Structure 1
């Protein structure tokens, strides 16, 4: 049966035949994934299991629904393409004209018309070869269709021509127009209605050759900004040797120090709307000149962000080209560093209020012995920051922003804030008080118990393990080595992300995560109930999560104490409270005793008996001693039954029945097999 227009309806019989054909087609890849050891956390999944459906984070796919407009619905691809670029241009709008804006634009116009006075380091062949070597082959190309895989096949003479092109661009302060054309695809935002154009995140597919040139520009810009220490210490995003856990630890340690002093802490988390899409071009160039970036590099960046064009692609249809008058391109390697330079002059409060930045994530926090002392000072800092946002055309969403009142308590309180607490405001819009907030991937609750965070990552790990059950389950033919690798690269990182921040949480809360690892060990090995968890961890050479978090915390704090950023070293340099103290802080995890599974003395199986192989029969060699105990138990049981049959004069036909009755009697009486653990 044919559909009207195009396509064919498949009957259930045809669908089953296609499914079987797909299974047959995937068998070679499945056999390769089973037999080949996984060699890396990302390359393994891409090379060996890349032909399989994406198991993680995959939901039932459906075609793009009609897009809703203020007047009608867009059904056809061309109608949707006429709606999507309009929404994108609304996001990346130009700034309104006022006297200050006009003065900045005129100043920038005069400076970019002057000839550069300095030179940049020339591009070398070794530099380009290093960049090409690190290219990821599974990246979509731009409008020119030249993929990274093709670039990696370039010969040395061809790379030498590319070096000459790059040097000519640096000399003439030029960024080729063809490298500025982008294909925009819309990625649905999670939890957003798919019929609204604003629910899609625009991603730019840029020219691969243009990205190489961007990386060259980025290396010269980062050398100037970071080697001269021009980026403020509060900005942890897009800079080497800085990470999300370090910024989160800084906030947690500040709050914990307040708990030690019996102080309260209030933190305000700002949600910046469309940060990259609304960067004011003239303001960015003005700030690059303020940071004393070389003139030649500023002129190239001015060419890079000016007169950019994009075409929106939906399915297999591409719209006509549109001009982009504001923002830095999503997907560019240079854009994050440009945004850091654009926000580098953010006001730093001088009344004791602390500032924390990670890209566009902006946080203000302050502690004191009374909430009445915190709110006025914090509100003044918010007002100062709001004026700066408005001046540089950065929009803050007050509804998605949040404020948390941190106070010490052993139990979870119902109210997020005392009933008589005043309200903090952003441009006369109230900031809602919250019980918890997800900050840089870590859920912070008002008492820093981290139970909400642990439960969230626990559910996520269970979801991932269910999606991978076909490869790590009992019936999987994968080797134990591959199963262990899949667990350590896909499931454990979900539970242990930023673990130095919450490794000091209550052992009862962390035990929920250890249970998931215990289940993996039992499912992966097919072990029976009487095999101890400590034996499984020992044979799989898998540390417990408590041991893993403790080791990660030791490495984390050893780096943080000697860090060049004084904010990181100050946050990690303190003496942990004693064991009997009412307060636990992140450094307490370093002195915690070993957990039960690590400290428990076990008669583990010999390491030589652990054979990581493809066949299930060879994998059972791990449990040779356990199987021998089971065989001895069966022999003793058969002797008891035989003796009982002789005494009672039973026939040999009833031996099997007596065997079953004897075993049942053992379990009813509470007796367990010899050597087994309850």
Structure 2
């Protein structure tokens, strides 16, 4: 049922409640004034429920009585009662009578509202509900319009060689005098302070003009464009509506003829819609399967993100007002009200440039060229509208100019204002979507600024103080699992020498928004919502989000926290002797940091002191902890103790997820919770991909396996490398993999899975867990010497540590440690050993060759019907249930087929039945590899050209007998396998039939 409000400017959807709600949920709604129920108080409410005779209906209900009482209490009127009294909105033809009712009401608290409700009884919606609408008249106020904040060009034309050459030549022509001017400013010792803002503006304008003249500009994409609905479908809808209106007016002998015509058109429309669905689905799956794999991954990721519902911050006054409200919220976060005012800003503008001999510029053509390769593509631009693709395509032309501009900024210690601007896009986190504080700001900064920062990053890194050993975030070769593994070792060390540790997981309030005073001077931030930009504001504190240097500067800033905590704990230990022996020489590990994820490890006596030190450090450094989001993990054996931060008690929990891995209050990895979470994450990933083609009727098997490995299996594997999870706990994850394989290749919830497991080459999750553990152990040998894990490894080799148990119980690690073969070959041999151990002789799976790679049946681009029949044969679904063979000589079984004359009839009459035996169905599992070279195919072409059509004919005949239907037979000329076999050129994919 369609319901709208039509004004002079737009259509406004109305609110609709449950058609048959119980009385209890109705009462809370009818106890509130209209302003709490309607975001547009001057408009009406559309409420779907049974009504009373006050609106012209013949029935009275309890819900209608409650509604009338609410209307009288809050002075609400029903427009149906005034302008459409007694006109039903629900008409259903029963066997003996026509049931009518008024169940769609327009309610308003404005008695002077100029309106006229309309009930469209002539429209056919294939529903007993009638479309209703209402026209409202308002003042003709032209809405405020703003130009789109982005300049957009046809960057796809950069792939055209002629266009790219023309663009570079045009830029070179524009930049030649500009380049000479800035070189003069750079090398002239008597030059005054350059106006760097004007210089960058000129550079940008030259690029804008060159892009406009060559690739051309374009408007933002209209996301409302209809791609499914066609003029042919609309024509059928119009015919149906015209026929329905004629049917409503026709009586007598002509009515049956009009009714038949109406039903015919309605069926034609239904068939056309289904045909259009099938057509678009085939086009969709063919595009995904025929394009390069990285483009398919990009498309799948984009579609998954679009399907996730994420609220957008809105305002009744429009997107511009919403952007300004969000900017006000961010301005309060960046206002510096909690910073330490004793820290002064040491930035001073230089009256003269730096001495090039003392401070040489780090910007050269080579360094900028190397930094340009680090810019990611397909990312939104900043305020200067220039994407990384533009800079990379014109690198040879613009790099000399950029190097000169960067050097000017270096020698004069200045930054152009446009590089200090950030456009913030709010992303919803959780909580009330109408609260701007519940959105995470994602900043878009200039790609040229990022290019400069990539050049400066090694310089800052080499001249920075060494980071504390407990900090693992933003550092190379230090993964989140490394940090979790170190935490597990520290807690084990506590329990072995003192007692179960107390852990406190700290949360920083707006970590990257309130820490650093200034990254660059005069930073400006504006908010983008629905194409509207807010007024800019200038933050007082905080790193510039989106900056390449923000992570390293944050790490340097927070670097004093673990050192301060360590000194406090060591001082306390002199009095209490509560600490275990140090794991590292002279270093007490009572805290771990991974970026802004901070955890304290101590005892009942030391944790209160550590919290006081952390509180004091927050005041000194100018940030605040968030006590409501901090968590205490205390051993259950000890008496409960309340810990405070800012005089606020911290909540206790029995388990907490640290860097994605759950820890119990005993200081161990909670393997049960980890397995349950991974299973749910795997199921969520699976069901998000099923509508996108992860099913037997969608994408080809080879692509299905790749998508499973890319999107589903990683969600089930996280943490298994260090968790030492048992086979019993792995069982639900293994069942999830089975469920995924059944979704991909068909089958009921309990159908066999061994054949598909061997065809895909996927190891069981038990084998996979062993592989992950062995690879992690092997990787640990190549850790940087200054990493925490590398320094802890000597202490972790003791026989009773979790690390030693992990190495001792892993079956693959001894092979990797002693084998001279490459790691991937040793892993491949281990997988084959595990397959052979679990293989049952005589089973259907035993006929398939053992391999850790997908079988050629799944890798070849076979015709979809052919591939599906072969898979069904291998799984035992053909012939399936025992039925009589058409030869009348026995039951149709796999053994009978080998000797049945129906399937062994010679193709050519000259061949003798007694000497001719073409039927060898085992060849279906011995297809040549699709990676075979064209010269090698010629050696096997004669064999397969003879046997392949006979095998397909046999499987096709079997399928026709089982389904008891004449199935279409694919001619050999259209067979994709024979096309690949006989074509020495790269195969061209033919659309599947």
Deviation at 1:555, TM superposition (A): 2.2
CA contact (8 A) 1:185 1:313 kept: yes
Which residue number corresponds to residue 499 of structure 1? 720
CA contact (8 A) 1:186 1:201 kept: yes
CA contact (8 A) 2:362 2:456 kept: no
- Residues 556 and 631 of structure 1: is their aligned pair in 2 closer, same or farther, counting only changes over 3 Å? closer
1:567-618 Cα shifts (integer Å, max 9, x gaps): 202444434758xx99995445524899986730251413455544253234
Structure 2 CA distance for aligned equivalents of residues 582 and 138 of structure 1: 43
Deviation at 1:340, TM superposition (A): 0.5
What SS is found at the alignment partner of 2:629? coil
Structure 2 CA distance for aligned equivalents of residues 631 and 97 of structure 1: 74
Does 2:463 match 1:218? Answer: no
Q: Max radius of gyration: which structure?
A: 2
CA contact (8 A) 1:92 1:325 kept: yes
Structure 2 CA distance for aligned equivalents of residues 430 and 529 of structure 1: 49
Which residue number corresponds to residue 423 of structure 2? 183
CA contact (8 A) 1:260 1:583 kept: no
Which TM-score applies when normalising by structure 1?
A: 0.76
2:744 aligns with one of 521, 524, 540: 524
Does 2:746 match 1:510? Answer: no
Does 2:851 match 1:615? Answer: no
Alignment of 1:561-576 (within 5 A): 561-563=781-783, 564-573=785-794, 574-575=796-797
CA contact (8 A) 1:479 1:615 kept: no
What SS is found at the alignment partner of 2:545? coil
CA contact (8 A) 2:882 2:891 kept: no
Indicate the larger mover: 421-430 or 21-30: 21-30
Q: How many residues align?
A: 582
1:192 aligns with one of 416, 419, 431: 431
Alignment of 1:124-523 (within 5 A): 124-189=364-429, 191-225=430-464, 230-258=466-494, 263-281=499-517, 304-346=519-561, 347-349=564-566, 350=570, 351=573, 352=579, 354-366=590-602, 374-406=603-635, 417-418=636-637, 420-447=639-666, 448-502=669-723, 504-523=724-743
Indicate the larger mover: 354-363 or 462-471: 462-471
Deviation at 1:114, TM superposition (A): 9.9
Which residue number corresponds to residue 848 of structure 2? 605
Cα root mean square deviation, aligned: 3.8
1:431-478 Cα shifts (integer Å, max 9, x gaps): 211011121122222353321222122212211111111345444331
Does 2:753 match 1:533? Answer: yes
- Residues 492 and 192 of structure 1: is their aligned pair in 2 closer, same or farther, counting only changes over 3 Å? same
What SS is found at the alignment partner of 2:513? helix
Structure 1 CA distance for aligned equivalents of residues 329 and 749 of structure 2: 58
CA contact (8 A) 1:34 1:614 kept: no
Deviation at 1:206, TM superposition (A): 0.8
Alignment of 1:545-556 (within 5 A): 545-556=765-776
Which residue number corresponds to residue 321 of structure 2? 79
- Residues 184 and 631 of structure 1: is their aligned pair in 2 closer, same or farther, counting only changes over 3 Å? closer
Q: Which has the higher contact order (CA 8 A, sep 6+)?
A: 1
CA contact (8 A) 1:94 1:325 kept: yes
Which residue number corresponds to residue 164 of structure 2? none
Deviation at 1:219, TM superposition (A): 2.8
Deviation at 1:354, TM superposition (A): 1.6
1:91-117 Cα shifts (integer Å, max 9, x gaps): 11214687xx33x316x2579899868
- Residues 146 and 81 of structure 1: is their aligned pair in 2 closer, same or farther, counting only changes over 3 Å? same
Which TM-score applies when normalising by structure 2?
A: 0.53
Deviation at 1:505, TM superposition (A): 1.7
- Residues 466 and 97 of structure 1: is their aligned pair in 2 closer, same or farther, counting only changes over 3 Å? closer
Gaps of at least 5 residues in structure 2 are 14-122, 132-223, 231-275, 574-578, 580-588, 814-829, 841-845, 850-854, 893-960, 963-993
Structure 1 CA distance for aligned equivalents of residues 360 and 763 of structure 2: 50
What SS is found at the alignment partner of 2:504? strand
1:190-243 Cα shifts (integer Å, max 9, x gaps): x22111111111121111211111222223212333xxx711111101111111
CA contact (8 A) 1:248 1:440 kept: yes
Deviation at 1:335, TM superposition (A): 0.8
Structure 2 CA distance for aligned equivalents of residues 80 and 529 of structure 1: 49
- Residues 329 and 529 of structure 1: is their aligned pair in 2 closer, same or farther, counting only changes over 3 Å? closer
- Residues 554 and 97 of structure 1: is their aligned pair in 2 closer, same or farther, counting only changes over 3 Å? closer
Structure 1 CA distance for aligned equivalents of residues 752 and 426 of structure 2: 50
- Residues 493 and 641 of structure 1: is their aligned pair in 2 closer, same or farther, counting only changes over 3 Å? closer
What SS is found at the alignment partner of 1:324? coil
